[in-house]
Amino acid sequence: MINFIDVCKDTPYIRFLDFYKRAILKKQRNIEAISISSFNDNRKEVESRYVNLKYIRDQEWIFFSNYHSPKSESFSSHKQISAILFWESINLQIRIKAKIYKTDSDFSDYHFSKRSLSKNALAISSFQSKPIESFDIIKDNFENALKKKEILTKRPDYWGGFSFEPYYFEFWEGGSNRLNKREAFLKDKKIWTHSYLQP
């Protein structure tokens, strides 16, 4: 599930919420799963990964990660991202373009304080995406962190939110005979322009 906080009233956000409600009624699984693609300017590579979209706050879309992870390096080196959600229950794809930045620390603290201790133990004990000799070591590190109750409610500096604010949406609705409905919104100088795209 995605948490909504004072969501922006602009047309593409209203459209998004309408589709979200329809997908919920259709019991869409993993509705918060969003693919984020970024460019690592240091390695000259494009990278994609799924993350859990946790919040939409006004115009800010927020997920959380380790700040020492490869995706964090990509976001630091190149602020431009693209994102895709696909909800097969209503045959809808949502494409997004945005700039990404770190979420304010107070909100990251707030979210960390709401999480289960087991999730926090993993965030504290794992050097995300770094090589390790065996999965058993990962489990041992997790179990050891879980015993240290005093540290499990304080967010470490190397973990927190990433936020992005879309300036482009495309809502792609699959139709029969590939007669797909593609509706686009582009933001320029705080004004959204609307168009339809040919299939």
Domains of the chain: 3-117+158-197 (2.30.110.10)
* Numbers of helices and strands, H then E, in the chain: 5, 10
Residue 151 confidence (pLDDT):
81
Residue 38 confidence (pLDDT):
98
Burial 164-188 (b: 16+ CB within 10 A, else e): bebebbbbbeeeeeeeeebbbbebe
Residue 32 CA to residue 91 CA, distance in Å, equals 16
Residue 127 confidence (pLDDT):
86
Among 47, 41, 55, residue whose Cα is nearest residue 2: 55
Show pLDDT as tens, one digit a residue, over the chain (199 residues): 999 999 999 999 999 999 999 999 999 999 999 999 999 998 999 999 999 999 999 999 999 999 999 999 999 999 999 999 999 999 999 999 999 999 999 999 999 999 999 999 999 998 888 899 999 999 999 999 998 887 888 999 999 999 999 999 999 999 999 999 999 999 999 999 999 999 9
